[in-house]
A and B are shown apart, each in its own frame.
Chain A
Amino acid sequence: METTYSNNKFSKVPPQDGFRVAYILHLADNSLILGQRNAEWCGHGPVLEQDIAITNISLDLIGQARSFYQYAAQLINQHSPSPGGGRGEASEDSLAYLRTEREFKNCLLAEQPNGDWAQTMLRQFLYSTYQYYLYRFLQTNSDTTIAGIAEKSLKEVSYHLRWSSEWVIRLGDGTEESHKRMLRAVDELWSYTGELFIPAPYEKELSIDTAFLKDDWAKKVNTVFDEAALTVPSNVFMQEGGKTGTHTEHLGYILSDLQYLQRAYPGCDW
């Protein structure tokens, strides 16, 4: 079994909370990495209005990540006064900036490159659909902090879903060129959707069996694809590993950028 979730930095966290911390980090990493990817568009969007729109989504996602990291840090600190290897207490920033490639637990889908506007829109749509059903489910979680963050974020995610669905439809059913680009995006991203519904060990331990979200997800994706004149691919081999720290090569570069200052100037306030 993968053990990255009980990484030595958090060795004093007892197993049950260890799973919980791992899961919260998984949620946080998903939002952070996708937010970071979307942020790459800022200043480069196809039209000012949409530049502003995608940046709003990026801000929502980074906000969600911060809430989850803060909660994870709180749980870690309860058990261990100095989990950061002598660098003081865990914090949202120590968790985002000082973990390594193998410790990040985001889904592979979130870290895939922006590509063109079609690929970014499709990635957002596939992920927002997943996030929508997941947060709806988590709203009633027995962990009231997780439930609270999910409830607040659900409003944001509902908007992301609506916005990205419209773009997928517009581009899928727009011009010949946009349709072609959507097909390429589907080709590019589809193999990263399977992982969403294969529960990682920490999800199983917490009885968050994401497999049951698959039907709702597939239904929504089908409806939108239908309207977008796109076909849902079949018999695609599905990649996995992100949830347990085995990523695509892209993540290393994302973290090089993300963590550069914290790594170059350790222990500073910013």
Chain B
Amino acid sequence: MPVQNFEQIFQGKIDNEVKIEPKDWMPDAYRRTNIRQISQHAHSEVVGMLPEGNWITRAPSLKRKAILLAKVQDEAGHGLYLYSACETLGVSREETMNDLHSGKAKYSSIFNYPTLTWADIGAIGWLVDGAAIMNQVMLTRTSYGPYARAMVRICKEESFHQRQGFESLLVLSRGTEEQKAMCQDAINRWWWPALMMFGPKDSESTNSDQSMKWKIKRKSNDELRQNFVDMIAEQIKTLGMKLPDDKLKWNDERRHYDFGEINWDEFWQVVKGNGPCNKQRLDARKKAWEEGEWVREAAAAYARKKASPNPSKGGALEAA
């Protein structure tokens, strides 16, 4: 069959909401777009463990410590599901990781901001996970089967993340003056970066058109961002806090909240690597991977030794 026909069959499946599975024929660009997006998503989960992990040893109560540990552990699980989805497209985890460590692959810029106080943990749960969920719910219907299945699993687990974040801020918002100030300060610092998570404006986004046609993405950046603003602008009333945007106002005609302009210079600077923590985050991931190498090697060597049919070799150490 000529490629032309393959492409027609492929687009036909997409149009009819039939999922694309790993061994189905797919255009190379579809494969690469998925690899790029899924691996970015996986890296975001794994790098995202770091800012929150920063507070695990300092969590203010044993209950909060357990919740935070379970949450950060979930992020590791989500990273793992996504790396697995990526492997169905023919890239090994190691290759994907190497792209992260070499700086070739990107991850969500939000994780290049520092977690300065305990309230940041609540703000991340509420705002960052809240923004992520908007994307993720959409992605449960993405056209590539393994990606969609990973997202279903992730979404099931993720809803606890946003709830615990909000609840943690709620406690602060009802606490002492110092706690309230801590809460407001965290919201001030995380609000705009959270809005940036949806990516460039539709008019500027280079990947969106084709991704929509292939149903990798099903809603535009601006649509998702608007949904998020509408949701948070309501929820913050319960906290009795303010979003740091003078232009935020309900627009009765549009039936949406209007909001101010994002600082796109800052966005591109952070993407380029000039965020407050870009280097620190990447260094931490590289360090974990490099220092883990002898561990992975030893376990693999031991497994080979045990699987070896030649018992006379047993006990002999392999040179690293």
Contact = CB atoms under 8 A, between A and B. Distances in A.
- Note whether A and B contact each other (Cβ less than 8 A): yes
Interface stretch (B53-61, B124-132, B197-205, B248-256): B53-61
A265 B56 contact: no
B116 to A, nearest CB: 13
A82 interface: no
B320 A175 contact: yes
B46 interface: yes
B292 A62 contact: no
Contacts of B287: 44
Contact of A55 (B60, B76, B172, B315): B76
A104 to B, nearest CB: 15
B315 A173 contact: yes
B318 interface: yes
A40 B295 CA distance: 18
B118 A117 contact: no
Contact of A261 (B50, B60, B319): B60
Contacts of A254: 57
Interface in B263-300: 284, 287-288, 291-299
A170 B178 contact: no
Interface stretch (A176-184, A197-205, A237-245): A176-184
B320 A43 contact: no
B319 A176 contact: yes
Contacts of B164: none
A46 interface: yes
B80 to A, nearest CB: 5
Contacts of B172: 270
A174 B65 contact: no
Highest count of chain A CB atoms <10 Å: which of B46, B175, B299, B320 = B299
Contact of A270 (B64, B305, B315): B64
A228 B297 CA distance: 16
Interface residues of A, number: 52
Interface string A106-137: 00000000001100000000000000000000
A96 B62 contact: yes
A185 to B, nearest CB: 13
Interface in A230-270: 254, 257-258, 260-262, 265, 268-270
A48 B176 contact: no
A72 interface: no
Interface string B210-230: 000000000000000000000
B69 A117 contact: no
Contacts of A77: none
Contact of B320 (A92, A176, A270): A176
Nearest to B51: A43
Contact of B319 (A36, A169, A175): A175
Interface stretch (A63-71, A143-151, A152-160, A207-215): A63-71
A268 B80 contact: no
A2 B168 CA distance: 40
Contacts of B319: 175-176
A178 B303 CA distance: 14
A39 B298 contact: no
Given A96-B62, A261-B58, A43 B72 contact: yes
A62 B63 CA distance: 9
A69 to B, nearest CB: 7
A171 B291 CA distance: 14
B49 A175 contact: no
A48 B291 contact: no
B301 interface: yes
A48 B73 CA distance: 9
A178 B294 CA distance: 7
Contacts of A45: 288, 292
Nearest to B295: A46
A105 B222 CA distance: 56
Contact of A174 (B46, B49, B59, B318): B318
A270 B176 CA distance: 11
Given A173-B317, A268-B175, A43 B65 contact: no
Interface of A: 32, 36, 39-40, 42-52, 55-56, 58-59, 62-63, 65-66, 69, 92-93, 96-97, 116-117, 169-171, 173-179, 181, 229, 254, 257-258, 260-262, 265, 268-270
23 contacts: A42-B53, A42-B72, A43-B72, A43-B76, A43-B288, A44-B284, A46-B293, A48-B80, A59-B70, A59-B73, A66-B62, A116-B291, A117-B292, A170-B299, A171-B295, A171-B298, A175-B298, A177-B320, A261-B58, A262-B60, A268-B60, A268-B179, A270-B60
Given A32-B62, A42-B53, A55-B73, 11 more contacts: A39-B56, A39-B69, A43-B72, A47-B296, A62-B65, A93-B61, A174-B317, A176-B319, A178-B297, A178-B301, A268-B176
